[in-house]
């Protein structure tokens, strides 16, 4: 079995990469010391997190000089994301930190001027600028790969241009692949880019070090003047919990109530009887189906807390491990991302241990999650941030996880309830004028945050909460609606538009999708960056492919 060496410095999910390499028939060797770098036949460096912390970890492990030497010798190197950026002299992300200085350039931040959501998150195209063994048959304008980053390498000089293999457009043009000889690095994540990503990794493994013959296959390069487009993401969401028999099932609620209901009536009364937890299938099976149908991302939400369960045995960890074996799109996990008390590794219930939010998140990242979503804990963090006059403590789950894994790994799951009011002055919170009057004809409304799966209302509005979370370091907002959840009546467009106006990070609209038009509406009218749905897919009302065909027919770019 051929071998490939992976430089893992423990800053994120590399399980998908390892699974991809295994799928391609390679044995993975991890770098333990500098010798492993110098003796590698092919080296992959999947960087995640922040530029400064990545370089600090490389320095403290004594990897900087061996890496430079390996690269100078033109031996096969594949850098991914930060594995591209660290090749440069430095980055605006971490001023003063020196990179590997292989490429004479500084990585710069995206220009947020044009109202672009940053991080640049999702599926975008590539414009190949030259032929490469990495793309033996080229790259068509319909194909897309998965990006997630706030900083990028831009063309700055002739010396950099020699490195450019492909560029991508997001407001401005940036360099998405560099290659010189056997040194290759991608700003996107091939291990998260579905079948196309697997093909790219395969080409690197099979064609590098390059022979002259492979390196010079001619094909037609795309029209570089036509900008690539970021696709609007379609995300499938699986709410997971134990049913009454103790099996882990995907369930789906209506306004967050996940139990079957029946109503009995007699002349004296109407009685509502709560039945079993709705069972819509097995988490891993459903997730695989959605990957095959073209889901751009998959979210797993742990909607019951598994009390007294040792951290390492949380049922969702095994779901992630299995899902990441053959699902090569980003996976998000939510529910219970906070400081927890749980039995230690031996499971002894009498010895409870306190695990920080970062430790909990780390367990999920190691098991295959790319992002974690924080619900209740984000509301508490926002409340504290606002009550302290906008001063961050550095201690919240949002801050600690973003510092360790990068802001792109922190999603905020918001569970709002719409509250109708007669005027803008009626409450202290951000109020909007609504086209849907309340029960007493109220023309205004605000959106109230809730915690504990919608069971407890808090005195904070969604507008203020998402702004506080962005300031604390969140990378994305997953915007549910308790009123619309499971109703098939369409997304709450006023809510989505309000949150898009409040923040500059991407916003995922969630709750209420029941028809293909609801997806086009939320992109065209409320400018969501992604649309998440559950029931419509679980019940096979419409498949993800059909949603995407509809969006394309409306001129909305998506990955097909």
> What does the per-residue mask of binding to ligand 1PR show for 399-438, with x meaning CB under 6 A?
--------------x-x-----------------------
Shortest approach of ligand 1PR to residue 514 CB, angstroms?
8
Beta bridge partners of 527: none
Q: For ligand 1PR, which residue of 93, 143, 191, 239 counts as binding (CB under 6 A)?
A: 239
Q: For ligand 1PR, which residue of 76, 336, 475, 506 counts as binding (CB under 6 A)?
A: 336
Contact status: 492 vs ligand 1PR (CB under 6 A): no
Rounded to whole angstroms, the Cα distance separating 425 from 266 reads 45
Rounded to whole angstroms, the Cα distance separating 465 from 219 reads 51
Rounded to whole angstroms, the Cα distance separating 131 from 152 reads 22
Rounded to whole angstroms, the Cα distance separating 90 from 81 reads 14
154 noted as active-site residue: no
Contact status: 533 vs ligand 1PR (CB under 6 A): yes
480 has binding-site annotation: yes
> What does the per-residue mask of binding to ligand 1PR show for 356-395, with x meaning CB under 6 A?
-----------------xxxxx------------------
User: What number of chain residues touch ligand 1PR (CB under 6 A)?
Assistant: 31
CB-based contact 527:503 (threshold 8 Å): no
CB-based contact 176:85 (threshold 8 Å): no
Strand spans (E) along 389-472: 410-414, 417-421, 432-433, 444-451, 456-461
Q: Residue 475, CB half-sphere, CA atoms under 13 Å: how many? A: 26
Q: For ligand 1PR, which residue of 461, 486, 506, 557 counts as binding (CB under 6 A)?
A: 486
Which tokens is 260 given?
């079957």
Contact status: 107 vs ligand 1PR (CB under 6 A): no
Shortest approach of ligand 1PR to residue 166 CB, angstroms?
35
How far is residue 490 from each of residues 385, 399, 518, 520, 532, measured CA to CA in Å? 33, 33, 5, 10, 12
Q: For ligand 1PR, which residue of 76, 453, 473, 557 counts as binding (CB under 6 A)?
A: 453
191 noted as active-site residue: yes
- How do 88-91 and 103-109 pair as beta strands? parallel
Shortest approach of ligand 1PR to residue 459 CB, angstroms?
17
Nearest by Cα to 514 from 545, 541, 496, 538 = 541
239 noted as active-site residue: yes
415 noted as active-site residue: yes
End-to-end CA distance of the chain: 34
Q: Which of 239, 296, 370, 492 is catalytic?
A: 239
Which one of 41-49, 53-61, 125-133, 508-516 is the stretch in contact with ligand 1PR (CB under 6 A)?
Answer: 508-516
> Which backbone phi and psi does 326 adopt, to 5 degrees?
-140, 20
Rounded to whole angstroms, the Cα distance separating 560 from 555 reads 13
Rounded to whole angstroms, the Cα distance separating 330 from 337 reads 18
Q: For ligand 1PR, which residue of 513, 528, 530, 544 counts as binding (CB under 6 A)?
A: 513
> Which backbone phi and psi does 433 adopt, to 5 degrees?
-80, 135
> What does the per-residue mask of binding to ligand 1PR show for 10-49, with x meaning CB under 6 A?
----------------------------------------
Rounded to whole angstroms, the Cα distance separating 344 from 347 reads 6
CB-based contact 213:154 (threshold 8 Å): no
Range 535-554, binding ligand 1PR (CB under 6 A): 535-536
CA 306 to chain centre: 24
Contact status: 258 vs ligand 1PR (CB under 6 A): yes
Shortest approach of ligand 1PR to residue 150 CB, angstroms?
24
Residue appearing with tokens 């974690």: 372
Q: Which of 120, 189, 232, 518 is catalytic?
A: 189
Q: Which of 415, 470, 492, 521 is catalytic?
A: 415
Q: For ligand 1PR, which residue of 512, 523, 526, 547 counts as binding (CB under 6 A)?
A: 512
81 noted as active-site residue: yes
Binding residue numbers for substrate: 336, 480
Positions in the binding site for ligand 1PR (CB under 6 A): 237, 239, 252-253, 256, 258, 301, 303, 334-337, 373-377, 413, 415, 453, 480, 485-486, 510-513, 533-536
Q: Which residues are designated catalytic?
A: 81, 189, 191, 239, 415
């Amino acid at each position: 079995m051929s071998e490939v060496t992976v430089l893992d410095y423990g800053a994120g999910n590399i399980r998908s990469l390892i699974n991809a390499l295994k799928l391609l028939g390679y044995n993975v060797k991890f770098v333990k010391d500098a010798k492993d770098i110098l003796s590698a036949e092919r080296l992959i460096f999947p960087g995640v997190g922040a530029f400064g912390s990545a370089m600090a970890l490389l320095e403290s492990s004594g990897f900087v000089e061996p890496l430079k030497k390996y690269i100078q010798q033109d031996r096969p190197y594949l850098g991914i994301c930060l594995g591209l950026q660290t090749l440069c002299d430095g980055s605006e992300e971490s001023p003063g930190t020196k990179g590997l200085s292989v490429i004479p350039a500084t990585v710069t931040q995206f220009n947020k001027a044009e109202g672009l959501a940053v991080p640049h998150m999702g599926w975008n195209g590539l414009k190949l600028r030259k032929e490469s063994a990495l793309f033996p048959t080229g790259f068509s304008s319909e194909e897309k790969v998965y990006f997630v980053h706030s900083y990028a390498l831009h063309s700055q000089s002739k010396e950099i241009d020699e490195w450019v293999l492909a560029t991508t457009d997001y407001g401005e043009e940036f360099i998405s692949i560099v290659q010189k000889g056997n040194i290759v690095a991608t700003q996107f994540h091939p291990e998260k880019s579905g079948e196309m990503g697997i093909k790219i990794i395969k080409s690197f493994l099979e064609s590098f070090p390059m022979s002259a013959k492979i390196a010079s296959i001619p094909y037609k390069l795309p029209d570089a003047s036509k900008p690539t487009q970021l696709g609007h993401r379609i995300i499938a969401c699986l709410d997971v919990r134990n049913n009454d028999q103790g099996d882990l099932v995907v369930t789906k609620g209506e306004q967050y109530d996940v139990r079957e209901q029946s109503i009995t009536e007699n002349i004296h009364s109407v009685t509502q009887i709560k039945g079993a937890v709705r069972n819509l299938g097995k988490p891993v099976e459903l997730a695989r189906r959605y990957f095959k149908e073209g889901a751009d991302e998959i979210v797993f939400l742990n909607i019951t807390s598994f009390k007294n369960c040792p951290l390492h045995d949380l049922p969702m960890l095994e779901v992630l491990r299995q899902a990441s074996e053959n699902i090569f799109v980003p996976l998000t996990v939510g529910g219970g991302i906070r400081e927890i008390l749980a039995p230690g590794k031996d499971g002894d219930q009498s010895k409870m241990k306190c695990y920080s939010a970062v430790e909990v998140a780390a367990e999920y990242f190691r098991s295959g999650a790319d992002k974690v979503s924080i619900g209740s804990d984000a509301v508490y963090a926002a409340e504290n941030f606002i009550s302290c006059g906008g001063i961050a403590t550095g201690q919240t789950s949002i801050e600690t996880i973003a510092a360790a894994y990068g802001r792109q790994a922190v999603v905020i799951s918001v569970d709002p309830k719409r509250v109708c009011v007669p005027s803008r002055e009626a409450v202290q919170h951000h109020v909007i004028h609504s086209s849907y009057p309340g029960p007493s004809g109220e023309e205004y409304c605000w959106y109230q945050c809730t915690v504990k799966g919608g069971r407890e209302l808090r005195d904070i509005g969604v507008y203020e909460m998402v702004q506080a979370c962005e300031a604390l370091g969140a990378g994305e907002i997953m915007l549910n609606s308790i009123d619309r959840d499971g109703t098939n009546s369409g997304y709450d467009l006023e809510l989505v538009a309000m949150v898009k106006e409040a923040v500059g990070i991407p916003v995922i609209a969630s709750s209420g999708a029941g028809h293909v038009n609801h997806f086009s509406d939320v992109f065209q009218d409320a400018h969501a960056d992604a649309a998440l749905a559950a029931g419509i897919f679980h019940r096979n009302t419409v498949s993800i492919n059909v949603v995407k065909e509809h969006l394309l027919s409306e001129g909305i770019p998506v990955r097909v």
